[in-house]
Structure formats: structure tokens, C-alpha cells
Structure 1
Amino acid sequence: LDSEGPLTTRIQNELGRSVIASYLNSTGLTENICTSERTYSDKRASDAIRRVIGAAIVSRDPDNAIKVAESLGMPIDTRVETVGDIQTIYQFYRPACRTRFIENDSRRIISDLDAANIAIEVQRRTGYCFADRDLLVQAPSHQSSSIDGSNKRLELLGDVVLEFVVALHYYHKYPGTPTNDFKSFKSSILSNDALGSLFASLGLDTFLNTGLEDDADSEIKWKEDAKTVVHLTNCGVTDWKGLRLDKVLGDTMEALVGAIF
């Protein structure tokens, strides 16, 4: 499973309502959880399991959440031991800063840099030290690059992790608010525009490796305007060789979060 599509499909299959409901059914706990007069359904059963696991996480006891899932027969990777591991990412995450790109005719290509130097620079900009420096090469490597192993798998992982930490933040920060409000909140915070802006504001776009650098100068006009705060989509150029620039940077930000995780 070396690409995003098969991974996404597998995750969707393993987290489908009928699959999750089957775990509940196998324990004989269906009647204990679904006790109202409403008709039993896979959705009700799967929602019940999600709530129980969510309650365990919110109670600051992620180990119990894992135990609940394991007791239901769910395949759990216990290498991720606590939510504390994810809090590293939450500390790294912050509301996206809107910024114009800085003009730089000598854009550095990550494949031409020593991994140790990259590690030092990325650590300085993010405040996070990578134990596995190979991930520093993979995270900013778009699928159009010549680097073996693009960032698609890391992007998928980062996407899921970001959804989790934002959901946890929203749950505690805005108690009692409707779930529809959360969906709007999540869409704005985790949009390509917001994540791409954050990636660029950290100066990490200088390490982006797309394999399109020969055309970059003609396709994108890097502009310096320290006093102007704007959306990526208002920068004047949003298309890069058929790829939306905000999507490229947003996806790379997700890959970086996946690498940190």
C-alpha cells in the first residue's frame, strides 16, 4: 500500500459502519448500548462504539480507549501508546498565518541538501526535532518529484492526525456547540488554503520538492510584502502546472504533520 488511494479505501473499509457494528455484535453488548425504542441499525451500533471510545479519550485516559477497542476485537496498533504522543503535534499546530511568498530566485531543492542541515533548519522553524531524518526528505517530496517515495502516505496520516487534534481541541474549547458548527470550523482550519499558508509562513516552502522547479519561476511570481496579509488564493497565481498551489502546500503540510507523528 504505497499510495493514497488504496490506503484511503482500506481505512474506509475497516471503519465502515457495518464493520464497526460487527465488533459490537460479536461481544453480545448490543442490547446494553442500544436500549431505546428506535430500530437497531449498523449506524446506531457504530455510533455507540465511537462515543464510548471518544468518552475514554476525553476523560484523559487514552489507554482505556485502546482497551475498549481491543475488547471489542478491533485491530489496534499499540505502538501509539497515549494521546500524549499526539499532543506533540497539537503543540506544533497553530492557526494559520496568512502571508505572501517571499521572493527567492535560488529556491533550495531538498534533494540537493545534506539531511543533517535540513534537520537543523526544520527543527529551528518548527521547534520539533526529527529522530528519523529520512522523513524530512519524504515529507516535502511531492509525487511529481524524482525522490523515491513521495509524501502521499505521510499526507494521509497527517490528515487523520490533524482531524483528531482539531476535534479534541474543539470539544474542549467549545462545549455544547452543534456538530454542524464543528464541521464548518474543521473545514476552515484544515483547508488547503489555511494549511498551505501555515506551511509557507514557516518558510518551509523553500524545501518543497516537486520536480517542477525548472518551470517554477515562470509559473509562480514569488512576491515580498511583509506588511500585507492575504489568502493564498489572492496571491495572483493559484495554478502550478495544472496543480493548485494551495493544494500542493496544504498536502505537504499534512505530510509534515504525518512525519512528526
Structure 2
Amino acid sequence: MTIELSPSISEALTHFVAAKKSAKSVQQGHQELGRFVAWCGRDRKVADLSPIEVAEYAQQIGLGGSESVHRLSPVKTFLAYWKDQGWIENGLASHLRVPRTRRTTAGAKTANRPTYSGSQLSQEGYDRLVAQLDGLKGERAIVLEDIKRAMADKDFRENAPLEAAKDRQGIIELRIRELEASINNAQILPEGASSKVARSAVGAKVTLKDSNSGKTVAYTLVDVREADVSENKISTTSPVGQALLDRMVGEEVTINVPKGTLRYLVQRITATS
């Protein structure tokens, strides 16, 4: 199988499965690999995936408790394969670590904070999920045709196109189920002009002042499905996102991260449309 120097993530998965199809661990990890590919975006180039995004995925899976290490294992093997193939210069597998529980200076207050379960999405985020679902349903029909064509070859023992199409079908069906569940259970955040609010919550934009450097930074708190580090949209399941929930202007926030301790002063909280 030939493949370009920087394949898409879905192409990399097909290549990986074909190369490792005899490995029992890969066979058992198909579902987790499919979930990872869907989360990243199947058409993205492997070279475009950043360490921050890999760490964010690990953070999301880390909420699953004791099974998290087992679930991340096939994904870590998949990422290591990218490096072995020369598709990426710097390894990403090392960033796929189950995070330890972090503590903030809020102390006992943290335990009393409200938990945010389910999907709380902006209208934009909701529409994006619906568009992704529509696109996948279109791909579903295409893959079914690919399977029909591949099955025309009666020799199923060495039918690589059929195996690849079935693998792709499994990934698509998994992602469709996940998107349908997210859409059906979504709570769409109310729209309106930006305004000040008393406490931070999902959908709020929190402006912070770094207590050490004096620099300001603003983060928008979003559901994990809308997280985008490049736009400063951070998931409420990430260490920073969790620490910024249910805050008020004037509060000091201390966050423990791998590089050390961050200290911020909450300067402004606005509800974004």
C-alpha cells in the first residue's frame, strides 16, 4: 500500500490496521481508534495534530475512570506508528497520558461546585455537529457501495479493499451513534448580546490577568465537543476549564499544570452569544 508523506488521519488508520491486522491488541482496539479518528477529524493531516490536542483527548478519556489507561493504549500505539513511519517529526504518544486529579486553591469550595454533565452547546456548535452528522450519513452510503463492489470479488480471504471498507464502515457507524447521542441530549445555550454575568459557566468568556506577568488572556468555556485551542475555546473538562467554572470577578485562581503553577485574577466575565 502506498501512502503520501503526510496522510490524513483516516488514511493513516487504514494503513496502520493493514500493517498490524494480525496483532490482537489492534483488533480489540478498533472502537477506540475509531473514536480517536472521529474526534480529531478524519480528513486532517497527521502532521497538523498538535501535542495540546492529544493531551486534551487524554483529558477527555481520563474522565472515564480506571478504564482510561486501557482505552488509551491502542491510540498510543497508533500515534507511535506515525513516528515510526516518518509522518511526524516529534512523537505525540508521550502526550497521551491520563491526567491526575488536580486541586485548586478553592479547596472545599471546589467540591461544592455544580457539575456539568451532558452537552451544553452554542447554536454554532450544535449546527456544526448536525453538519458533521449529515456528512457522515452521506459517507455511509458511499462506503456501502464500496463494500458491494469489493464483495464482487469472491475471494474474501485476500480482499484488502473489502477489509478496508468494512473498517471504515465501523468507524462511520460509531461516529454517527456518538453524534446522534450528543445532538439528542444537547442543551443549546441561549443567544443574545454579550453581557456581564455574576459567575462563569459554560458559554461564558472569562478574562484573566496573570498574577506573575500582568498579561491578560481571555478564554471561552465550552463543551468538549466545541473546544478549539487556536480560538481560546477551552473544554470545561480540562484542568484550566474546570478551575474557571463558577468563578466571580475579583477571585484569584490557582491552577496546577505540568509546567508548574499558574495564578490568575478574574477581571471580567461575559455571556457570549
User: Into which bin does the TM-score normalised by the smaller protein fall?
Assistant: under 0.3
User: How does the TM-score come out when normalised to structure 1?
Assistant: 0.27
Q: Which has the higher contact order (CA 8 A, sep 6+)?
A: 1
TM-score, normalised relative to structure 2:
0.26
Greater fraction helix: 1
